[in-house]
Amino acid sequence: MYVVKKNKQNKWIVIAEGNKRASKSFESKVEAIAYATKKSKDENTSFRVEDSLGSKSKKKLWIILAIILLIVLAVVLFLFATGKIKIQLPKEEVYTIEFEDNGHGVAPTEIKEVNTLPDPLPILENVEGWEFKGWYLDENFKTAAKPGDPISKDTKLYAKWEEIKSTVIETDELSIHFLELGNYYAGDSVYIKAGDIDILIDAGSRASSSTTIHNYIKDYCTDGKLEYVIATHAHEDHISGFVGTNSNPGIFDLYECEVIIDYAFKNTSSQISKNYESKRDNEVTLGAKHYTAKDCMEGTNGAASRFNLTDTINFEILNQKYYYEKSSDENNYSVCMMLNYGNNHFLFTGDLEKEGEESLVEKNDLPHCKVFKGGHHGSKTSSNEALLSKITPEVVCVCCCAGSSEYTDNVDNMFPTQDFINRVAKYTNRVYVTTLAKYEIAKNKNGNEYPKVNGFESMNGTIVVTLDSTGNVITTCTNNDTILKDTAWFNSSITLDGVERKMRIWPSDGK
């Protein structure tokens, strides 16, 4: 057996296997093979050709290659780890969404460069007689489009519209009464007459107010029965009139209450809240149904979130997070209620504070409201922009004693506060206030002068709200119908420690 291979001098040699010395060497591989062919034929043997590199050299080469590869890999890993090189992922596909307005409103023509549905999705303005209900991924409105949904080049969004059924307004079918309470304390009591149904939201501000409330509502509620009673939260200025005193029987004593809806939590352990709950439970023993706002949301205990009053009027208990979790502020437990008369809405939020209002906005699709009961008696901590910008109220009714020093000797923070006025003024100048404080100049504990409340009179008096046949809000107050910014109190000046100031200022960007 001969072997044809290259030697160290780069010559082609033919060598008998096992020998150290070549038989012959050649300049070219062809010559060497020709020689080997002949020689092996003559000697009746065979030959083979070895590649230019031997198996040992091959092994070496592989090792060198592997080392180089490892070095390159290490360098790349180092550069990647130190951020000197970055991996460029292939770009996500971007598409243009097509919006179909379905004949109402004006849909955006397109939104460019998106790979998921935008957050938030555009909201179309309601157009005459039609209400925008949201975007859907199909023409039959089976699948609602959600922000962040993946899209493809075929994605098209369809606007769903619902025809607004116009309600024939019978002007005597609904009236809402924001009551004067017979003293200079802030407090709420709102009486609603819807057809034959009587509703009372809160009974403040003091136990003796029960007589004032009764003297007013007995002319409207002639059957001695309040179909619905709502106690928003456990503060005295909202519940004491339900209880009354020995000489002033409470609302629970004077009326049969069919359904009582109240707060899910309270922090206070006040005697008045215990008395309220004990009298409430007595009503239940006598046949009343009692639901907390949480029951209404969860449909437990036989409760529901919506109560139909007449063919066209209902009310809903609105959702907010403090029906389920504790707040350090009792006010945030307030039961929130929306009264609906066809497409006309009236909002009552008790003394709900900023965090509660934000939750209310988050958890409900709040509509434009004809009337809003000014949050927390016109406090600076309620009626915030987040809420007002949703409900854009036409009329705001404030249950308080204007300019009373009950909670503060800082004039700006007396109800209705300057901050409240600044925020509400953007939406309406139709602001009404039940009661007005009389005062004398006194000195506070720091020796500074302040207007100390020493009596009260009617401001607008009890504010009565109805709608005319076209849905305009009509106010007929028991004292006068002067809007807040035109009242004598609002425009009066007061001199404290020798400095004259305006009682209130209507902001320059106000209505």
What phi and psi values does residue 104 have, to the nearest 5 degrees?
A: -130, 155
- Of the pair 238, 504, the CB lying nearest Zn ion is at 238
**What is the amino acid identity at position 230?**
I
- Of the pair 198, 236, the CB lying nearest Zn ion is at 236
Nearest distance in Å: CB 208, Zn ion: 17
Nearest distance in Å: CB 506, Zn ion: 25
Nearest distance in Å: CB 376, Zn ion: 6
Nearest distance in Å: CB 170, Zn ion: 33
Nearest distance in Å: CB 201, Zn ion: 12
- Of the pair 237, 355, the CB lying nearest Zn ion is at 237
- Of the pair 182, 197, the CB lying nearest Zn ion is at 182
Among 202, 237, 277, 295, binds Zn ion (CB under 5 A): 237
Please choose, out of 193-201, 281-289, 350-358, 417-425, the segment that lies near Zn ion by the rule CB under 5 A: 350-358
Among 351, 355, 357, 406, binds Zn ion (CB under 5 A): 351
From the centroid of its chain, how far is CA 468? 32
Binding flag, residue 329, Zn ion (CB under 5 A)? no
Nearest distance in Å: CB 333, Zn ion: 12
Task: Give me 143's structure tokens.
Answer: 């699948």
Please choose, out of 98-106, 235-243, 256-264, 383-391, the segment that lies near Zn ion by the rule CB under 5 A: 235-243
Range list of H helices, 342-433: 354-363, 385-391, 418-424
Please choose, out of 43-51, 95-103, 237-245, 355-363, the segment that lies near Zn ion by the rule CB under 5 A: 237-245
Q: Where are the beta strands (DSSP E) in 164-318?
A: 174-178, 190-194, 197-201, 225-231, 256-262, 289-292, 306-308, 313-318
Task: Give me 221's structure tokens.
Answer: 């509620």
- Of the pair 237, 329, the CB lying nearest Zn ion is at 237
- Of the pair 206, 485, the CB lying nearest Zn ion is at 206
274 contacts: CB under 8 Å, gap ≥ 6: none
Distance separating alpha carbons of residues 5 and 3, to the nearest angstrom = 6
- Of the pair 102, 270, the CB lying nearest Zn ion is at 270
**Size of residue set near Zn ion by CB under 5 A:** 2
Cβ atoms of 456 and 479 closer than 8 Å: no
- Of the pair 351, 409, the CB lying nearest Zn ion is at 351
Distance separating alpha carbons of residues 402 and 437, to the nearest angstrom = 6
**Pairing of β 256-262 and β 289-292:** parallel
- Of the pair 197, 201, the CB lying nearest Zn ion is at 201
Nearest distance in Å: CB 186, Zn ion: 6
222 contacts: CB under 8 Å, gap ≥ 6: none
Total residue length of the chain: 511
Nearest distance in Å: CB 235, Zn ion: 5
x-or-dash pattern for Zn ion, window 98-137, by CB under 5 A? ----------------------------------------
Please choose, out of 8-16, 43-51, 346-354, 500-508, the segment that lies near Zn ion by the rule CB under 5 A: 346-354
Distance separating alpha carbons of residues 464 and 73, to the nearest angstrom = 83
Nearest distance in Å: CB 265, Zn ion: 16
22 contacts: CB under 8 Å, gap ≥ 6: 7, 13, 14, 15
DSSP 21: S
Range list of H helices, 235-371: 236-243, 251-254, 271-285, 293-298, 354-363
Contacts with Zn ion by CB under 5 A lie at 237, 351
